[in-house]
Amino acid sequence: MLKRILKMLGAQGTSVGMALLTQYLLPPVFIKSYGIAKYGEWLALAAAISYLSSLNFGLTTYSSNQLTILRQRGDLEEYKRLQASTFAFLIVLVFAGVLICAGVGFLPLPALLHLTSMSRRTAGLTAAFLGLLVVVHILFGYYNNLFMVVQETHRGAMWANWRFFMPTVITIPLALRHASFPQIAFGQFLAALVIGLATVVDLKRRIGSLPLGLSGASWATAKSAFRPSGMFAMIFTQQFLLFQMPVIVLQRLLGPEIVVLFSICRTLLSTARRLLSMITFSIAPEITFSFGSGDMKKLLDIFHYSERLIFSLIPVANLGALLFSPVLLAIWLHKPELFEPGTYALMALISSAMSMREHKQYFQFSTNVHHRLAHIVFWGNLLMICVSIPATMRFGIHGFMVTWLVSETTQMALLYRENRKLFAGDSTITLIPVAKLAAVVGISLPLCMMVLEHARRRPLAVDGAIAAAATLVLCVVSWFVFGLNTVQERIWAKPAGH
Q: Percent of the chain, pLDDT > 70?
A: 93
Q: Are residues 262 and 218 part of one domain? A: no
Q: Are residues 215 and 328 part of one domain? A: no
Most confident of 137-151, 164-178, 415-429: 164-178
**Number of domains comprising the chain:** 2
Q: Are residues 167 and 264 part of one domain? A: no
Convert the chain into a string of H (helix), E (strand) and C (coil): CHHHHHHHHHHHHHHHHHHHHHHHHHHHHHHHHHCHHHHHHHHHHHHHHHHHHHHHCCHHHHHHHHHHHHHHHCCHHHHHHHHHHHHHHHHHHHHHHHHHHHHHCCCCHHHHHCCCCCCHHHHHHHHHHHHHHHHHHHHHHHHHHHHHHHCCHHHHHHHHHHHHHHHHHHHHHHHHCCCCHHHHHHHHHHHHHHHHHHHHHHHHHHCCCCCCCCCCCCHHHHHHHHHHHHHHHHHHHHHHHHHHHHHHHHHHHCCHHHHHHHHHHHHHHHHHHHHHHHHHHHHHHHHHHHHHCCCHHHHHHHHHHHHHHHHHHHHHHHHHHHHHHHHHHHHHCCCHHHCCHHHHHHHHHHHHHHHHHHHHHHHHHCCCCCHHHHHHHHHHHHHHHHHHHHHHHHHCHHHHHHHHHHHHHHHHHHHHHHHHHHCCCCCCCCCHHHHHHHHHHHHHHHHHHHHHHHHCCCCHHHHHHHHHHHHHHHHHHHHHHCCHHHHHHHHHHCCCCC
Question: Do the domain assignments include residue 379?
Answer: yes
- Give the tens place of pLDDT for each residue, 309-327: 899 999 999 999 999 999 9
Question: pLDDT category, 493, cuts 50, 70, 90?
Answer: low
Question: Do the domain assignments include residue 234?
Answer: no
Question: Do the domain assignments include residue 334?
Answer: yes
pLDDT of residue 446: 94
pLDDT of residue 485: 77
Q: Which residue range(s) make up the domain with 96?
A: 35-227
The mean pLDDT of 250-278, rounded to a whole number, is: 83
Q: Are residues 356 and 209 part of one domain? A: no
Query: Average model confidence (pLDDT) for the chain?
Result: 85
Least confident of 258-272, 379-393, 429-443, 464-478: 258-272
Q: Are residues 383 and 296 part of one domain? A: yes
pLDDT of residue 174: 95
Question: Do the domain assignments include residue 24?
Answer: no
Question: Do the domain assignments include residue 20?
Answer: no
Q: Are residues 314 and 203 part of one domain? A: no
Question: pLDDT category, 190, cuts 50, 70, 90?
Answer: very high
Question: Do the domain assignments include residue 412?
Answer: yes
Question: Do the domain assignments include residue 236?
Answer: no
Question: pLDDT category, 497, cuts 50, 70, 90?
Answer: very low
Question: Do the domain assignments include residue 51?
Answer: yes
pTM over 0.85: no
pLDDT of residue 224: 73
pLDDT of residue 58: 67
Most confident of 62-71, 208-217, 284-293, 403-412: 403-412
Q: Are residues 267 and 193 part of one domain? A: no
Q: Are residues 427 and 294 part of one domain? A: yes
